[in-house]
Amino acid sequence: MQNYHFPDQQGFFGEHGGIYVSETLIPALKELAQAYQEAKNDPAFWAAFHHDLKHYVGRPSPVYHAERLSQKLGGAQIWLKREDLNHTGAHKVNNTIGQALLAKRMGKKRVIAETGAGQHGVATATVAARFGMECHVYMGADDIQRQAPNVFRMKLLGANVIGVESGSRTLKDAMNEAMREWVARVDDTFYIIGTAAGPAPYPEMVRDFQCVIGNEAKTQMLEAIGRQPDIAVACVGGGSNAIGLFHPYIAETGVRLVGVEAGGLGIDTTEHAAPISSKAPIGVLHGFRSYLMQDENGQVVGTHSVSAGLDYPGIGPEHSHLADIGRAEYYAANDDAALEAFDLLCRYEGIIPALESSHALAWAVAEAPKMQKDQVILVNLSGRGDKDINTVAKLKGIEL
């Protein structure tokens, strides 16, 4: 694992990744790839990035020993990487800060994004306001109805939210519209993608920005317990918070890396969003190749998860590669297990976690009792759950 250098020149992580887009998008991706490689080699770029992460986002986020929860479970010690404490409440802002700085460096005055549940739209609108850029967010018309508070947040932050009426009126259609707009206005427009997926160079770029999570964790765990955890675990939607935690640990082969997908109603049903653990075949979606939930005819199938942020039929290409080479393991946590873990963290630690993060926690809650008391599981708490309280209340049959 010392020689793990991915992606390759063509943007592949083994069999996964690459660029699968129409001809018209190729020049824009090439310009972006070149600008990113230049920025990546420029210490001033990283200095500006870390300055904002410190003063605007509030990093480093702490690691926290969930002592009461660990005691209750009676096995391994659970530690949390507190991405929930970031400005805007999740890890997504690490990435939007990075891409906005790159947009600025490239002289682009407009940013566009697509969003499903609205979390990435809010993180993009936030940095657009911060850097004085025009911001347009594409969102399926149905999602606009379902996610009214986030739509209002984006508007408060000065973004223009564009409803997409085509197709299924959800994330997939919003993505198509954003791509179309990027092609039309590539001269002054930067497309901010919200997870470690999409055509190259996005998976690499988003990973590099999110690696701040794992890099901090390595330093912090060493300070806190004098060694690294036995297991590092994170939830996986597109895979950005997970790859940010995992990547700095890849060469540390003593640390097991565990990605937790959304098991929904169970991976033996059709109601889930767990491409790797349900052994989905390889397919192409949104400009890259990876494991992808599809039917016999190769049509992408509908997904389900209690957490909107994990409700995606694909997975970032680097995760598919890490699964192929056996460096990371992938499991699914079902809706009900995530909800139980959500309740446990509220009651035992006074922390309301995001429903996405509750999936990672659910895996740790099941695993910890089988382990020794001196073993350590580090859970990436990717976000806070304030955004989810209406969902949880509804599931409990409570009217707010």
Ligand X SMILES: *Cc1c(COP(=O)(O)O)cnc(C)c1O
Which residues are known catalytic residues?
A: 92, 114, 382
Here's the x/- map for ligand X, 193-212, by CB under 6 A: it reads as --x-----------------
Pairwise CA distance, residues 211 & 194, whole Å: 14
Minimum distance from residue 90 beta carbon to ligand X (Å): 4
Closest distance of CB 246 from ligand X, Å: 11
- Closer Cβ to ligand X, 7 or 244, answer by number: 244
Q: Which of residues 299-328 bind ligand X (CB under 6 A)?
A: 309-310
The span from the CA of 10 to the CA of 18, in Å, is 6
- The reply on whether position 294 binds ligand X by CB under 6 A is no
| Burial (0-12, 13-18, 19+ Cβ within 10 Å), 135 | buried
Residue 215 Cβ vs ligand X, minimum distance, rounded to whole Å: 16
Q: Is the dihedral of CA 64, 73, 240, 232 positive or negative?
A: positive
What's the Cα-to-Cα distance from 160 to each of 115, 125, 155, 168, 263, rounded to whole Å? 13, 9, 6, 21, 34
Nearest to 295 by CA among 278, 309, 311: 278
Shortest spacing between CB 176 and ligand X, in angstroms? 20
State the number of binding residues for ligand X (CB under 6 A): 19
User: Which of 334, 313, 312, 309 minimizes the C-alpha distance to 385?
Assistant: 309
234 φψ region: left (φ > 0), alpha (ψ -120 to 50), beta (else): beta
| Residue number, 309 or 371, with CB nearest to ligand X | 309
What are residue 236's DSSP bridge partners? none
Minimum distance from CB of 116 to ligand X (Å)?
9
Site string for ligand X, 349-388 (x = CB under 6 A): -----x-xx------------------------xx-----
Q: Which is nearer to ligand X, 18 or 203 (CB)?
A: 203
Q: Is residue 150 close enough to count as binding ligand X by CB under 6 A?
A: no
Lay out the site mask for ligand X across 101-120 (x = CB under 6 A, - = otherwise).
Answer: ------------------x-
Spatial CA neighbour of 256 closest among 81, 78, 376: 376
Q: In whole angstroms, what is the distance from residue 173 CA to residue 138 CA?
A: 9
Nearer to ligand X, 186 or 335 (CB): 335
Using CB under 6 A as the criterion, which residues of the chain lie in contact with ligand X when the complex forms? 90, 92, 119, 195, 235-242, 309-310, 354, 356-357, 382-383
